[in-house]
Chains A and B, each alone.
Chain A
Amino acid sequence: MISCIVVFLAEMITSTDGLGHLLVTAARTFQAVDMFVPLITISLLGLILNGLLQGLRSYLLRGFPEV
């Protein structure tokens, strides 16, 4: 999830496409609706990826406890 956060931050700082770029572009042009759409999408992506990776982790590391 660290990579997820870092990718969005990097897209906000220096990028020409991606969800972070959409968010920053909409915020700079004061378009609130267009700013919230990538924000919600990022949240949903994080939720889905977190669930998928946690499921994969619990499947691969059945004998290990939560670290």
Chain B
Amino acid sequence: MVRAGLRYSFELRMNARAVTTDVLLGIVPIALLVALWQAIASFGYAPASLLPPPVWCSCASRSNFVTGTFQHEIGATLFRLFAGFSIAVIFGVQHRTSGGGQSGRQFRSTSDRAGAGAVAQGRAVSGTAVVARFRSRIEDYGWLRQMRCFRFCFSTYYGASMVGAEIDSGRRWRRAHLAVKSCSRWCCRLRVRRSLPAAALAL
């Protein structure tokens, strides 16, 4: 629903009916799910101790928001989410744009060679190579838990793999579809702000 609204927001003045239909079609599944939930709770197909009605949940969430404790929990979750995502974007973009994981690269240790092998198997596993290179410098995986940053590094691992895959697919698409004239234009843009499209591709 939100995605459709954002995607077609610039078309709202030109084709308001199509945008309204799209947004309404996005609302319908959610409304049906809530109606089904309410019906199950109302007709007693599930006990209230297992499946409370949505009205109870809305009242409880309202009271939680009024007391102010819920905002603290949401803030903590959002901070971790964006911190992990930012670390992942930084790692992934730096890894792929600096040419890491290429076959001709010189590696320093056994773990680095293991990372190179993982990259040679496929570009989608570049996050594995990032972690392998990271591990080669520390030589001990247990420090992650000891430093209480396991959550962030876990997000970094998956986020970095996504970043690498998306950047690779973007490179392949440009190589395949753009003509020489437009390719030079895109390359100029990418030299100026190379990390920006790469970060956005990871979204």
Contacts and interface: CB of A to CB of B under 8 A. Distances in A.
Interface string A30-67: 10111011101100010111111111111011011101
Contacts of A14: 150-151
B203 A10 contact: no
A67 B169 contact: yes
Contact of B2 (A19, A30, A36, A47): A47
Contacts of B70: 37, 41
Interface stretch (B78-86, B98-106, B118-126): B78-86
Interface residues of B, number: 46
Interface stretch (B14-22, B45-53, B129-137): B45-53
A41 B56 contact: no
Contact of B60 (A7, A33, A52, A53): A33
B112 interface: no
B74 interface: yes
B189 to A, nearest CB: 9
**Consensus secondary structure, chain A interface:** helix
B115 interface: no
Say which size band chain A's interface belongs to: 35 or more
B173 A50 contact: no
A52 B48 CA distance: 35
A48 B84 CA distance: 18
B6 A10 contact: no
Interface of B: 1-3, 5-7, 9, 48-52, 56-57, 60-61, 64, 70, 72-74, 76-78, 80-81, 84-85, 88, 150-151, 154-155, 158-159, 162, 166, 169-170, 173, 186, 196-197, 200-201, 203
Interface of A: 2-4, 6-8, 10-11, 14-15, 17-22, 30, 32-34, 36-38, 40-41, 45, 47-58, 60-61, 63-65, 67
